[in-house]
Amino acid sequence: MKNSIRMRSHYQSRVRWTVSATLILIALGVVTPKIRADSSCGPVHGTYTSVQTTQGCTSPTGICFVGTITGAAILDGTATFIELDQAPAAGMPLTEPATTVSYSGTLTISTKNGTLTSRDLGVIDGARVAFTEMERPVGGTGIFANTDSVFFISGSMNSNLTAFQGTLSGVICSNGN
């Protein structure tokens, strides 16, 4: 019995040591998750501006935006957003005011190195004229073919919610071309 307790205690100590050592190595950057051998990932930070448009808008809700991304290196270019769905009160009418709207759509970014299409999931706080979005790539061409990184856009809007200005940040992976 004492031997069993001593062995269990020894085993638990080794597990704790292994977990602690792994966490320290991850924190120091010695151990990192492997992303893909054929991709190059790096931080991205820039500015996103857009205005609402009806020209060529194919949205089922009638809401489209066109704009630009600047200062974001490989993502610098033009952007087109097409809304696919929305929910007043962010889909939570028991806790959120009707001026808070969640939405989903596609954001297509055209750059000199290819096109990136992402699924855009966002929330607008109409009372505070602020927004935040999560961009999850779903397709691309050129250096954006087969990317699966996630980035975010957040910022403010004009009072009638027809123009956005925000900061783009996150990590983008390209195929290294």
SS3 4: helix
Output the pTM of the full model: 0.76
Residue 21 sits in the same domain as residue 54: no
SS3 3: helix
Residue 86 sits in the same domain as residue 22: no
Number of domains in the chain: 2
* CA angle (72 as vertex; 53, 126 as ends), nearest 5: 45
Q: Provide the residue range defining the domain that includes 116.
A: 40-174
Distance from C-alpha of 87 to C-alpha of 72, rounded to nearest angstrom: 30
pLDDT tens-digit profile, the chain (177 residues): 554 444 444 445 444 544 444 444 444 444 334 334 445 888 999 999 999 999 999 999 999 999 999 999 999 999 999 999 999 999 999 999 999 999 999 999 999 999 999 999 999 999 999 999 999 999 999 999 988 789 999 999 999 999 999 999 999 988 764
Identify the CATH number of the domain in which residue 116 sits.
Answer: 2.40.350.10
